[in-house]
Amino acid sequence: MTLDLFGHDATGDTPNPPHADALGPGAFVLRGFARSRLETLQADIDGVVAQAPLRHWLTPGGKRMSVAMTNCGEVGWISDRVGYRYGTHDPLSKQRWPAMPASFAELAHNAAEATGYRDFRPDACLINRYTLDARLTLHQDRDERELGAPIVSVSLGLPAIFLWGGLQRGDRTRRVRLEPGDVVVWGGPSRLAYHGIASVEGSFDAQAVRYNLTFRQAR
């Protein structure tokens, strides 16, 4: 997918790219952007998980998250009773997080560029696995030092209902259906927008899950 980005700046303040739905200023859903890469992405997810298994983090309050998570890249996102933070090493293995696959980094860079965010170089990728009963409550991604860089989020597997809110938790939310291969990019004025996953859609098949790749420039 090739888009004409001439004249676009690095704040996401661009006309809607083709096949994109605007969520807000600087925030877009790129429909089917990663569809042709799903098989490669899934193979690379499996490779990362073989080195750093999925696990259910605890919140600082001690609650077990319903979404299973792991990381790849220079740093990984961690949650436990100490708090939310990024670290270079997997707390389970004491080893550095697996390197980010080239397919991940390329997709994240291209999706960011397609929405006007040039030179996005993520150093962290959070891999989330959702079963049918998993949810992700409204939250902001604000643990990163570099809040000027966008967030890039890629959907694989089962469809899901994505919640998109405002800059305050109590702001009205939109419900947006995400299909496999859809990519959400947000930054600029929408960088700290609240968002979450209301539900995952599919049959009650133990093998049917949704994966999400969330790319961030954490440091």
DSSP state of 37: G
Identity of the residue numbered 147? L
What pLDDT, on a 0 to 100 scale, did the predictor assign at position 146?
83
CA proximity to 141, closest of 203, 180, 84, 101? 84
117 carries a ligand binding annotation: no
Provide mean pLDDT across the span 60-73. Answer: 98
Each domain of the chain, given as residue ranges in start order, spans 20-216
139 is in an annotated binding site: yes
User: Which CATH superfamily groups domain 20-216?
Assistant: Alpha-ketoglutarate-dependent dioxygenase AlkB-like (2.60.120.590)
pLDDT-based confidence at residue 208 (cuts at 50, 70, 90): confident
135 is in an annotated binding site: no
**Any known ligand binding at 16?**
no
SS3 58: strand
The annotation status of 216 as a binding-site residue, yes or no, is yes
**Helix-strand-coil percent breakdown of the chain, rounded to 5?**
15, 35, 50
Is 130 one of the annotated binding-site residues?
A: yes
Amino acid at 111: A
Q: What pLDDT digit, counting tens, does each position of 75-116 carry?
A: 999 999 999 999 999 999 999 999 999 999 999 999 999 999
Q: What is the pTM of this model?
A: 0.91
Q: Is 128 annotated as a binding residue?
A: yes
Ligand-binding site membership of 211 (annotated) = yes
Provide the β-strand partners of residue 124: 73, 216
Rounded mean pLDDT, 134-150: 95
